[in-house]
Structure 1
Amino acid sequence: MNGIREEAVEQQAYLTRFLLDHTLVPLAGRTFLRGVLPTRDAVRVVTGAADAEVEPAPVAYEIPLLDDDDEPLTAPLLLGWARTLAAGPASGSDASVMGMALVRVDTDTLEPASPSLADQALRVLRTLAWPFVEAPPRPALCGFLFTGPDSMRLYLAVEETDGLIAADVRLTGALTALLAALPSLVGEKERWVTDTADPHCSHTVDLTAW
């Protein structure tokens, strides 16, 4: 993995870790965070209903990893923008990705929502409970997408490839055993399949029946 790609992976993993807590409560109204999709120069925040069968339909908002001054996107700012976008009117778009509307966001004209008291409390608790460590988990989790009531896709940075591996998993079943085996399973090249419908990964691994 080259240096530039490694920096992007580290930033995407940081953004993903920060946003995990915010999948459980609405960003605004009935709109939830449904995923974080990693691309080479941007991150795509997916919003939608907690139940895929009801409105609002999922939308992927693409936000650059760097601003005009080449400063890296911070997670609190990304969360603020996501809340503003979720609270606003439905965004029209001629582009799509994986069946979702794709909106490329002009951050110069977008005001981030202010952090709530719950955000501030999470910041304190997260800092004390999960302090920064020199060696982050491997493989790095660079994104995720809820794909059904009991399934999700995990985007993982695997050493054997410059792209990301997307692992499809079920949330029911032997999760403890799956999580323990996941690092080795996603590195087994014989499991890799090309998914032309998903531009956020180089290969997928189906672990839904594991």
Structure 2
Amino acid sequence: MSELGQRVNEAQEEALEQQAYLVRFLLGHTLVPLAGRTFLRGVLPTRDAVRVVTGAADAQVGPASVAYEIPLLDDDDEPVTAPLVLGWTRTLAVGTPPGSDASVMGMALVRVDTDTLEPAPPPLADQALRVLHTLAWPFVEAPPNPALCGFLFTGPDSMRLYLAVEESDGLIAADVRLTGALTALLAALPSLVCEKERWAPDTADPHCSHTVDLTAW
């Protein structure tokens, strides 16, 4: 592999690690409103950024949701922290979303200029959750495999999981239902998403290379 190719691969791996870190942190904030009646509905991985999706608690993927694209690195090329991403998202969730001519998967896409945006200060509930997460889910040297790099609530009882599968040239999006035999599904998920015969293209979703439909599993 050329030196340039190696640098590209290293940058991609660092981006995936950063996206997985942001997802782990933001998962705990899907159950309470960010502001008013606006909830965190997803975190979509894309090149050099994450797209934080907000909407009502029961919002479907479409015009009722907004995707805010936030760069993974700051002006000094340092990775942005998850509390900062959450603070920016809380600020954006207050009031009317900025206008945008861009869209993704039927949602308005707003590219965020973090230089001009003040993050909302964390409420005490955020601080308490951070303490509990640190103690309950301590950092481990070997992260989960495949890594969860994004998620999106797609319906009242369904969601899409974006997973970094080594055998794929991009992320695999697994569609799952939240009802049924979840324990069995979660145990089998790492092997199911690696079965290439299950992979299918999805031209409507730019955040993955293939999808796997596990809603009937």
Give me the TM-score of the superposition, normalised by structure 2: 0.94
Where does residue 11 of structure 2 map in the other structure?
A: 4
Distance 2:188 2:14 in 1: 26
Where does residue 91 of structure 1 map in the other structure?
A: 98
Where does residue 49 of structure 2 map in the other structure?
A: 42
Distance 1:52 1:107 in 2: 26
Where does residue 180 of structure 2 map in the other structure?
A: 173
Determine whether 1:140 maps to 2:147.
yes
Structure 1 counterpart SS, 2:162 = strand
Instruction: Please give the root-mean-square deviation of Cα atoms over the aligned residues, in Å.
Output: 1.4
3-12 or 31-40, which moves further after superposition?
3-12
Structure 2 counterpart SS, 1:2 = helix
Distance 2:177 2:215 in 1: 5
Aligned length: 209
Where does residue 202 of structure 1 map in the other structure?
A: 209
Letter in 1 for 2:59: A
Letter in 1 for 2:157: D
Where does residue 77 of structure 1 map in the other structure?
A: 84
Displacement of 1:90 in angstroms is: 2.3
Letter in 2 for 1:34: R
Letter in 1 for 2:140: V
Letter in 1 for 2:201: T
**What are the ranges of 5 or more consecutive residues in structure 2 without an aligned counterpart?**
1-7
Cα deviation per residue 1:127-173 (whole Å; 9 max; x = unaligned)?
A: 11111000010000000000000000000000101310000000000
Distance 1:116 1:197 in 2: 37
> Structure 1 residue runs of 4+, over 3 Å off?
none
